[in-house]
């Protein structure tokens, strides 16, 4: 998805958390970089595939980050 001709860059990554109630990773050297995506729908599809593949590990979590919001905070779209 784009807005005004700009890419809406998303980043998907994950890893094992130290505690289920937080977002601190157990080992940063083992972060799984899934990839960068030009739209939210593609990022969610990748996130969902990784989350389902690791469902047996309760401490494993994957995240979708909206990199376009860090690059240009005025953009308020997924």
CA atoms 37, 38, 42, 48: torsion sign = positive
Q: Note the pLDDT tens digit of each residue in 22-73.
A: 999 999 999 999 999 999 999 999 999 999 999 999 999 999 999 888 777 7
**20-56 exposure pattern, b = at least 16 Cβ within 10 A, e = fewer:** eeeeebeeeeeeeebebbeebeebeebbeebeeebee
As a whole number, mean pLDDT of residues 2-23 equals: 84
Domain ranges of the chain: 7-16+35-78
Tell me which fold the domain 7-16+35-78 belongs to: Alpha-Beta Plaits (3.30.70)
Token pair, residue 48, equals 């969902």
Residue 70: its pLDDT value, please?
Answer: 78
What sign has the CA pseudo-torsion 20, 22, 26, 32?
positive
Q: Please report the pLDDT score of residue 68 as a whole number.
A: 81
What pLDDT does residue 61 have?
96
């Amino acid at each position: 998805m784009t807005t005004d001709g700009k890419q809406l860059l998303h980043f998907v990554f994950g890893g094992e958390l130290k505690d289920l109630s937080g977002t601190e990773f157990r080992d940063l050297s083992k972060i799984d970089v899934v990839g960068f995506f030009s739209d939210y729908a593609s990022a969610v599809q990748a996130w969902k595939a990784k989350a389902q593949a690791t469902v047996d590990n309760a401490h494993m979590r994957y995240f979708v980050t909206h990199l376009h919001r860090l690059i240009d905070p005025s953009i308020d779209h997924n």
